[in-house]
Structure 1
Amino acid sequence: MEATVTDAREVPDALPSTHFRRRSFLASAAFAAATPVSAAGTAQATELPAEGPPPITPDRGSVGRLLAVPEDARGVDWIRSALQVAVALELATIPAYLCGWWSIKDRGSEAARLIRRIIGDEMYHLGVVSNLLVAVGGRPRIRDAAPTFPGPLPGGVRAGVTVYLSGLTKSLVHDVMMAIEAPDTPLAQGLDNSLSIGVFYGELQKAFRTTAPALSTQGQLSKYIGSDVLKPIENLDDVEHSMEIVKEQGEGTASSPSDIFDDDYPAHYYAFGEIYHERRLAKVNGRWEFTGAPVPFPDVRPMARVPAGGWPHPPSDVERLLQRFDDTYHDVLDSLDRAWDGGGDRALSAAVHAMWGLEAPAVDLMEIAIPDAPGTYGPLFRPFPPPRAT
């Protein structure tokens, strides 16, 4: 039997197998959402209105409430609600990954290359779930979905994980990057059976298969994003294929780590694991271990961890850079909103162009030392202007 990861948080050098109990997971998800649960582990249908479940927005417990809805009640409205949560999830990963990447001084290093590819994948994933939402008659609300940092992942996914912004450190890689991307069983499993993105996407795939909604390509977008090609989703086979790509790029497959190396690129979780362990994942005597070629931890700009509420009393030069960054970030979010609301490929290209404009003020901030504290400043990724002091 192939060795596999047992703890999505720790990633030991030797990786034994395990099993996941779907029924206990669904029951705990429903319990977390304060929804009555039957003996079989699914939510009681009597709690739902006759016309079906109401729209669910991506607040802290929305994924638990979505998964507590019985499978036969998961219609098009359920799919739209789930996809808006997916938009928020994909958007929540990018700022932390960008800060880690920007902080690396040598962009040609192995760690920088791995993180840069992952950022491209996450942008592609955001495009996929946005296209899917448009295909079923919805519209992604991207700026509304943008999170503030530090904070939890949207929807209650990976409960206990706090996503924060800082330069690249072992703690950021382990506690944020790897924790976000941690796979499901049988490849890996957190000790707390924490709800993962992969489980959520698997249930979304199942709803598409069961409901078989009509799909429209009108308003969907096409673009090369990183090494992937975003294209309109025309049928259920396209839905299945695109969502499998999203899951496997992030967490890896549900069978064997070897499957994720077919294109020489490890899934995100394993790529972050290589940075954390400073070694490639390799198969040794039938066991997967981080004992391969070295992946040196890079020299980085020491961006400090952004505190809740942002930097207290920043000097004027820092405040100007923060405002410049936020103005550009707002342009990115607004262009993405327009792109899937009739703006089309031109608005999407404007968003990508604006996104590259984020790097200069971010790096400038990372070069400014914080007075009387260790580390340097960094961007805040505020989706809306902060309230003005009165």
Structure 2
Amino acid sequence: MSNPTPLKDLKELKAALQLAIGLELSTIPVYLTGLYSIKEGHNTETAQTIRSVVMEEMLHMTLAANVLNALGEVPSVEPVGFKGKHLHPIPSYPLTNPLVSGIGTLQLLPLSPHAVQSYVTIEHPLHGAAKVTEIPLGTCLYRTIGEFYGVILDALHDTKICKNGDFKHHNQVPDTQYYGGAGHVVEVKDRESAVKAIQTIIDEGEGLDPDKLGKQAKTVTDNDRLRNGWQMYSHYARFRELQTGRRFRSTQKAGEEPQGAMVLVDYSAVHPALHVPRNGDTEGGSESAALIEFDLAYTELVDDLYLAFSDGRKPVSYTFHNEKEVVEQKPALPLAVHGMHALKKMAVALMRTPNPASPAHTLCPRFSYVEEGDRDKLRQIVTELRKENR
């Protein structure tokens, strides 16, 4: 029997929520790398599936942030002290998660059977194990993502850890600012809405109860439908369909082998991108510049998301035809959404660019967050590399 380490007080609950935001963020680049590696016009069903999961991971980040804000804490990219560990919420790849042992090492890979297997492992309630006790704990605190969210949920129910008066309707991201995925943003104002927000993360994603494997794979609730009525279901079931090349029939259970209509996945219609960490940068002049520019753009996007989670606004300057500059404070979340579209274009361009250090491969986005003190230095390096390669 596994006994997850409970949260002891409000401070630990807030730290756990900071790490939950980062945990959801850690899966997004993994899935985006597979998505952006698909050659244009190919694997449309696969792309739709991966994109739908990414949008819900964004929703889960938002839900965890809303709970944290309601408890009076601001979402932050800074390291978190949690149960004697010093943990950074912003992932760096390859990532061996120090919080949850079962998900293994997260890598940035182009779409392949191995990549899809990793998606299934992440989203499986027991990360591929038959029993939770079969998952080595190692130096981590929790065996599964479900265990981690379970202790958060227990703490939210516990009036000794958080009193009713600790919840305030403060700095909430509203549902009107969430784009394109299933589910709805829960604005947290009390204990009940906080529990609902975390339960939504559990039901849709990686915290899925193992018992759900014995229930219908295509179980649908109101929160599992797109706004146009399109049916969604758990991330695990969606990725199992890609892995097996078959849809689940409506009568099938999530733990069964899908036996419905075929899902054609063409792994040959994928850019052969090779991930090289920032400290292993050997790609070449203009190629290195492009990779660094992507890192800086990704860093700005992450900062914008965290600013949005705290109801922040960002100064945006406009220069008119009379050369007069006007600065306006804009909501950060719409700017982050625009940033995601720009980042996609940069990622696709990288994956079409041959890697000078490995001719059989193309470049791969690194999704490497740049600390504030290093940003100016990297911008200068980009400028110098661009000059050298004119």
TM-score by length of 2: 0.74
Contact residue 140 and residue 340 of structure 1 kept, 8 A: yes
Matching residue of 1:331? 300
Contact residue 33 and residue 109 of structure 2 kept, 8 A: yes
Cα deviation code 1:107-163 (max 9, x no counterpart) = 67111111010000000000011111111111111375211111212513426x111
Aligned residue for 1:375, secondary structure, equals strand
Once the two structures are overlaid, the 10-residue window that deviates more, 291-300 or 82-91, is 291-300
Contact residue 171 and residue 311 of structure 2 kept, 8 A: yes
Work out the CA distance in 2 between the residues paired with 1:187 and 1:158: 8
CA distance change for structure 1 residues 368 and 190 in 2, over 3 Å: closer, same or farther? farther
AA in 1 matched with 2:248: L
Work out the CA distance in 2 between the residues paired with 1:192 and 1:204: 23
Residue correspondence of structure 1 range 1-390 to structure 2 within 5 A: 24-26=1-3, 67-69=4-6, 74-105=8-39, 106=41, 109-142=44-77, 145-158=89-102, 161-174=104-117, 176-184=118-126, 189=131, 192-193=134-135, 195-211=143-159, 212-213=162-163, 214-222=166-174, 223-227=177-181, 228-251=183-206, 252-253=208-209, 254-255=211-212, 256-258=214-216, 260-262=218-220, 263=225, 264-282=231-249, 288-298=256-266, 299-309=268-278, 312-343=281-312, 346-371=331-356, 372-384=358-370
Contact residue 143 and residue 383 of structure 1 kept, 8 A: no
CA RMSD across the alignment: 2.8
- Higher share of residues assigned strand: 2
Deviation at 1:215, TM superposition (A): 0.8
Work out the CA distance in 1 between the residues paired with 2:270 and 2:129: 34
Work out the CA distance in 2 between the residues paired with 1:309 and 1:187: 33
The alignment covers a number of residue pairs equal to: 321
Cα deviation code 1:245-266 (max 9, x no counterpart) = 2112114453344164325323
Deviation at 1:82, TM superposition (A): 1.0
Deviation at 1:273, TM superposition (A): 1.1
Work out the CA distance in 2 between the residues paired with 1:122 and 1:107: 24
Work out the CA distance in 2 between the residues paired with 1:173 and 1:365: 21
- Consecutive unaligned residues in structure 1, runs of 5 or more: 1-23, 27-66
Work out the CA distance in 2 between the residues paired with 1:247 and 1:267: 10
AA in 2 matched with 1:136: L
AA in 2 matched with 1:290: P
Cα deviation code 1:154-207 (max 9, x no counterpart) = 513426x11111211110110x21121111499964672361111211111111
Contact residue 25 and residue 193 of structure 1 kept, 8 A: no
CA distance change for structure 1 residues 337 and 284 in 2, over 3 Å: closer, same or farther? closer
CA distance change for structure 1 residues 154 and 355 in 2, over 3 Å: closer, same or farther? farther
CA distance change for structure 1 residues 186 and 306 in 2, over 3 Å: closer, same or farther? closer
Aligned residue for 2:66, secondary structure, equals helix
Cα deviation code 1:307-357 (max 9, x no counterpart) = 444653212221222122122112112212322345158012212211221
TM-score by length of 1: 0.74
Deviation at 1:272, TM superposition (A): 1.0
Contact residue 283 and residue 289 of structure 1 kept, 8 A: no
Contact residue 89 and residue 154 of structure 1 kept, 8 A: no
Once the two structures are overlaid, the 10-residue window that deviates more, 126-135 or 220-229, is 220-229
Contact residue 85 and residue 154 of structure 1 kept, 8 A: no
Aligned residue for 1:364, secondary structure, equals helix
Aligned residue for 2:31, secondary structure, equals helix
- Consecutive unaligned residues in structure 2, runs of 5 or more: 80-88, 137-142, 226-230, 314-329, 382-390
AA in 2 matched with 1:234: K
Work out the CA distance in 2 between the residues paired with 1:284 and 1:241: 27
